[in-house]
Amino acid sequence: MIAAAALAVSVAATSCVRDLDVTPIDPNLALLDDPDYLFNKCYATLAMAGNSDVDGDCDVDGIDGGTSGFIRQMWNANELTTDEAYCVWGDPGIDGFDFNTYDAAHPMLRGYYYRLYTAITFCNHYLEVASEADPVKTAEIRFLRAFEYFLALSGYGPNIPFVTAVSSDKPVPGKDHEIYDFIESELLDIESKLSAPKVVKEGEAGYGRVSQAAAWLLLARLYLNAEVFTGTPQWVKAAEYAQKVIASPFKLNTTGTPNATAYEMLFMGDNGSSSAAQEAVFAIMGNSLKTASWGMTLFLIASTYNGDMLAQYPIGTSEAWGGNVARPDLVQKFFPNLSSVPAEAMKDEFVSAAGDDRALFWSVGHSLNTGVITDFTEQIAVVKYNNLYSDGGTSPTEGQYVDTDFFLLRAAEAYLTYAEATARQNGGKATSDGLARLNDLRNRAHASKLASANLDQILDEWSREFYFEGRRRLDLIRYGYYGGENSYNWWNKGGVPAGASFPAYRNIFAIPTTDLTANSNLSQNPGYNVTAE
C-alpha cells in the first residue's frame, strides 16, 4: 500500500502501487511520459481498479482489487454510514460503516484514501510532463484533481496531505483552509479553459469528459458546503453556480419510454446513449468489454439483488450478490407511515403506491425490520440500477459485466443546490424560484407538487432524488444531522437499533494508521487513536 508520505514518489501508470514507504523511486516502476496514455489513465482510474480487466494489475495494493474501485469505495463511505443504505455482508470494515464505528485501521477507508491519493498522483504526473500538450486536456486533469481533493477534504478533513507535484519529499498537511482555497482557485481558473458545455452521447466525441458545466457544478457543491469546510457560508455563490448549470445545455431527462420512466433511464445500461445523457454533466463510462470492473456500476447493481429477485426480474447481468439494502428511514422518505409500505410488491407496485417514480424498491420475499438483521431479505431491496436498455433490449454482451454508466455529476444536483441555497438565504423557507426547481424534479418523477418547502423537506428531497448515489453523508453533515448530539436518528445509527448519537469527531474519517507511521509530518484527526480503537 502506498503511503501518503510516498505519494510524491513517482508512481507507475503501468503497475500496482507498491509498498514504497518513504524510499526513493522504486526501480521496478516505470514512469510513462506519453500524454495520451497519461490523460486516459487519469480518467480510467475512476472506472477501473487498474490496467487490466476486473481487478487485476490494480492501482492500489493491500486491498482486494475489486473492492478497491473508486465508485465502490466512495459509495461505501458515503452511503453505508447514513440513513439510506445498510450492508449485511461480514467483510472486514462493513460493520464499522453500518454502525458508525470506523477507526484509523478501517480497511475500506484506508483503501478509499489511497484510491483518492493515487488518482491525485496520476494527475500530478500528467500536469508535470504533459501540461503543454493540450490546454483543454490540462484543464480537465486539473478538474479531476480538484474533484479528488474535494472528496478527500469532505472525507478526511483539512488535515490531509497536500501535494501538487511528484516528489520524493514527505507531503505536509494542508493548513487552515488551504485545500478548500486550492479547490476553489483551481476551478475558477480552469472555468474559461474547459470546453463549453455540450450534450453528447456515448460514442460521440467528448462524452465522459468534463466541460465548464462540471466546474460550475463542483463549485456549487463546494460553496454549498463552505460552512462545513471553513465556517463561513457561501449560499449566494452556491446558487449562482447552480444557476449556471441550470441555464446550460444539460437538462433533466424528462422523456421516458414504454419500458422505463425518465428517472429510471438515468441508471440503465444505455443511459449514455439514450436521452438520459442530457443530464450527465460528468459520466464515468461503463462498458462490459472495455471497462469491466467489480467496483463500478456492476457493484451497484449486483450488490442490491439476489438470485430470487433475478428469477423474477432479469436485470441484464448474471451477478446477484445480495448485500446492500435500504434502511427503513429511506423507505420512509416515500412512505411516511411505514405500515403502508407494500408487502410482496415489485418495483412498479412500489412506484404506484408511493406516487413517485423514484421509489424503486422491492419487497417480494423481503420484510421490513427495525431490529438487528443478518440476512439480505430482512430489509427492503433497492432496484435503482440495472443493465437493461430503455428501448426494451439488453446489452449485446449481456453476461457478467455491465454497460451502465455512473453519472458522477448530473444536472439534478444543480436544481436541489439552488433550492437549498436560496432557502437558506430566505430564513429556511424555499423561495418561489427554489420551489419551482424542486417541483421540476417532482414533476419529472410524477410526484405531487409542493406548495411550500422548508429545509428539512429539501433534505428529504435530496434523499428521494439521489439515494444510493454516494453523496448522502455530506448532506447530513451540512444539516448538522450526522455526528454529534442532534435529534436526527436513523435505524442502527451509532450501532443502536433505534438510533443513537455518535461523537462529532466522526464527521470526518481517521487518517489511516499506515500513513501516520510512514509520514511524521502528519497528525491524526481529533478523536481518533493513532492505533486501532
Residues 120-135 have pLDDT tens digits of 999 999 999 998 889 9
Q: At what angle do helices 412-424 and 455-466 cross, to 10 degrees?
A: 170
At 48, the pLDDT band (50, 70, 90 cuts) reads confident
CA terminus-to-terminus distance, the chain: 21
User: Residue 387 and residue 304: Cα distance in Å, rounded?
Assistant: 13
User: Residue 24 above 60 pLDDT?
Assistant: no
* Total-model pTM: 0.92
CATH number of 252-470: 1.25.40.390
Cβ burial of 520 (10 Å; 0-12, 13-18, 19+) is exposed
> pLDDT tens across 106-121, in order?
999 999 999 999 999 9
User: Residue 12 above 70 pLDDT?
Assistant: no
Q: What does the pLDDT read at residue 371?
A: 84
> pLDDT tens across 155-194, in order?
999 999 999 998 888 999 998 899 999 999 999 999 999 9
Three cell numbers at 462?
Answer: 435530496
Number of residues that make up the chain? 533
User: Residue 311 and residue 418: Cα distance in Å, rounded?
Assistant: 42
At 415, the pLDDT band (50, 70, 90 cuts) reads very high
Q: What is the mean pLDDT of the chain?
A: 90
At 52, the pLDDT band (50, 70, 90 cuts) reads low
Comparing 60 with 36, which gets the higher pLDDT? 36
Return the SS3 of 348.
helix
Q: What does the pLDDT read at residue 68?
A: 73
> pLDDT tens across 428-484, in order?
999 999 999 999 999 999 999 999 999 999 999 999 999 999 999 999 999 999 999
> pLDDT tens across 331-380, in order?
999 999 999 999 999 999 999 999 999 999 999 999 998 888 889 999 99
Please work out, in degrees rounded to the nearest 5, the angle formed at the alpha carbon of residue 489 by the alpha carbons of 472 and 378. Answer: 80
Comparing 10 with 82, which gets the higher pLDDT? 82
User: Residue 503 above 90 pLDDT?
Assistant: yes
User: Residue 67 above 80 pLDDT?
Assistant: no
User: Residue 146 above 70 pLDDT?
Assistant: yes
Query: In terms of Cα–Cα distance, which of 30, 202, 210 is closest to 138?
Result: 210
Q: At what angle do helices 432-444 and 455-466 cross, to 10 degrees?
A: 30
pLDDT above 70 as % of the chain: 89
User: Residue 18 above 50 pLDDT?
Assistant: no
User: Residue 55 above 60 pLDDT?
Assistant: no
Q: Residue ranges per domain, the chain?
A: 252-470
Q: How many CA atoms lie within 13 A of 355 on its CB side?
A: 6
